[in-house]
Structure 1
Amino acid sequence: MASIEPRKGVKGRVSYRVVWYIDGKRENGRDTETCDSHAIAKRFKNLVELAGDNRPAGYPKRCRGIGIDERQFKSEPPPAAADAGSSPHAAAEVPTLGEALDRYLNQPNHPAEEVQRIGYRRQFNRHVRTAILTLEDGTRVGPLGGLPVTEYTADVDQAWVTWMQGRKHMVRGELVPYSAKTIHNIHGGIISPTLAYASVKGLIEGNPCDSVRLPDKSVRAVTRDEVPTAEEIAFWIALAYQVSELAGDLVTLAIATGLRFGELTALRRCDIDLKRRLLTVAGAIKERREPRELYRADYGKTDTALRTIRIPKSALFMLQRRMEKLPPQGLLFTAPRGGILHSNGWSRTWAKVVDLAQESGILTAATLHKMRHFHATELLAANVSMDTVSRRLGHASVLVTSAIYGHLTPEADQRAANVLDAVMGGGKPKKRKKKNKKEKKAVANLLHAIPA
């Protein structure tokens, strides 16, 4: 059985040491862990006993028992320590990084929903709280969750980035490094905002994260073989309708609007204005882990994901059919047995469409997301501005759109070359010919195989 011993530090601060015999046997010797509060010590003691009087997995030596969220514990007065002349919390004027995160997330005016804040805490517990770092001069710092915010310097922040770049996680049975995007998301969504909050509250001077060097988060460009051709699109729509009306309707709207899967399945009747041909992306389908279930969130992948776009005429009939007898808040696309359409269920449906495509000799390995790529490349090829396409897709910025699709639209670059040829040859650049019929109809006729 483990026990908890109050201990008084040289500055009068009280800590709590968990003590146990390894494997519960005196002859194996003792192991200990010092915790900052009685609540953490009590929880850590329980974990030790659950592990058979052994150090619990994921809690290295000197972790101070803070691999868990202290907010889970019921507040209770800690037992008095021997010769403790002052309150154990008297010296705790400067919050730790973990405490500052809780204060930041618990603000009444915090813009994130509760499910987002739960996700932030989960990411913090997994990637920040228990991190023990080695600085460039060899100094060991951590665990970060118990580090006072005044000690979280730019050097510590840079060391965390380096530490994350060296970690790996399991993906489809293979250990792979964490992506630059993941590091950016944790740093920019959790660590930096927490320390910015601490700076605003006067707890620290400035945000130490401002000067950190983050890994390059380059956007992967789409290759031409990932995008269905205009000749293939009619076949994909027809094959999808052969599988089911749901499959055909989803492919139809994906091509017509360029929406992501989570945005398509979150559409409600009230999000569609048929008279004005407007579609509003007002949320997305997300999945929470505890309890594991799908839910409709009123936010999107980016701040610009919530948007209103025009609907091509060729998609209106399908939408009108979908909206019949549907309540205003009713979802347009649901699972066959009702409820939110899960990506796993859709994958099984799409596999049937792919099988039909292979039998028909279509070689492009299309997915619903690649219909989004087709939507973007067709608009850009028709000389629709990059800014308009970016806003239509809900990208974070036009730079993202350009990085993904810019290389697939050489027409604009050819026009630039023609101008230079004319100038270098001493003549005037030729005026661009009027759009031909094909270009004029590129946006309006994205769809031409929807059954009546």
Structure 2
Amino acid sequence: MVGTGLRWGEISALQVRDITLRGQHKVLRVQRAWKRQEDNTFLLGKPKTKKSRRTVVLSPALVEIIERNIAGKKAEDFVFVTAWNNPWRHGNFYNRRWLPAVALAQKEGLTKKPRPHDLRHTHVSWLIAANVPLPAIQARLGHESITTTVDRYGHLVQRLDDEVAAAVEAAMTGERPALRAVS
């Protein structure tokens, strides 16, 4: 979740057929998501919005994780499953995996009690720290509107006064601006 920015209902609904690991770009396609019903059960259906149906490029580290999780599986099998090869249900994952992991992290000094959705926010903060443009973040997260992205994460965008001044100077003088190294 932290490596893709996907919502819980999206990542837990990924099937092997949603993954492409051949070619230049290794990607996953968000095609479906688990939806909570009024009776508190979950149903597999369409993602949250039209723009939530998207393609997400995978880093080499994520490719390794996904390769381990899809080895020997059929196209319709879920990528992330329990030890019994069943799809993860939110409550089951939360109680059996998430809470013990948080408790262990708290013993090691974590002072907060994060939720799984906080991994999505962490993902975005990494992208913003790397100066990834907000429209690219909007597309990666599947936000229907850039306003959602700006309202939720705009406060994290560092002031880019030096970059703005350099761009204006370059436009006025015809010189190319010096690019800041991003680490």
TM category, shorter: 0.7 to 0.9
Structure with more relative contact order (C-alpha pairs < 8 Å, separation 6 or more): 2
Number of the residue aligned with 1:399? 147
After superposition, residues 399-438 of structure 1 pair within 5 angstroms as 399-413=147-161, 415-416=163-164, 418=165, 431-436=177-182, 438=183
- Look up the SS of the partner of 1:280 in the other structure: strand
One-letter amino acid matched to 1:340? P
The alpha carbon displacement at 1:398 in A equals: 1.1
Structure 1 residue 380 corresponds to structure 2 residue 109: no
Q: Is the 8 A contact 2:166 2:177 kept in 1?
A: no
Number of the residue aligned with 1:322? 69
Match of 1:283 among 27, 32, 37: 32
The alpha carbon displacement at 1:395 in A equals: 0.5
Q: Is the 8 A contact 1:335 1:342 kept in 2?
A: no
Match of 2:137 among 386, 389, 392: 389
Structure 1 residue 344 corresponds to structure 2 residue 91: yes
Q: Is the 8 A contact 2:12 2:33 kept in 1?
A: yes
Number of the residue aligned with 2:3? 256
The alpha carbon displacement at 1:334 in A equals: 2.4
Deviations 1:178-203 (A, max 9, x none): xxxxxxxxxxxxxxxxxxxxxxxxxx
After superposition, residues 9-408 of structure 1 pair within 5 angstroms as 254-276=1-23, 277-289=26-38, 293-297=41-45, 299-348=46-95, 349-408=97-156
- Look up the SS of the partner of 2:132 in the other structure: coil
The total of aligned residue pairs comes to 177
- Look up the SS of the partner of 1:411 in the other structure: coil
C-alpha separation between the residues in 1 aligned to 2:31 and 2:120?
18
- TM-score, length basis structure 2: 0.85
What's the Cα RMSD here?
Answer: 2.6
Deviations 1:366-403 (A, max 9, x none): 33211111211211221211111100000011111011
- TM-score, length basis structure 1: 0.36
- Look up the SS of the partner of 1:308 in the other structure: strand
Change (3 A) 1:434 1:415: closer
**Gaps spanning 5+ residues in structure 2: where?**
none
Moved runs in structure 1, 4+ residues, more than 6 A? 427-430
**Gaps spanning 5+ residues in structure 1: where?**
1-253, 439-452
- Look up the SS of the partner of 2:155 in the other structure: helix
Change (3 A) 1:429 1:382: farther
C-alpha separation between the residues in 2 aligned to 1:428 and 1:303?
42
C-alpha separation between the residues in 2 aligned to 1:368 and 1:412?
31
C-alpha separation between the residues in 1 aligned to 2:159 and 2:113?
25
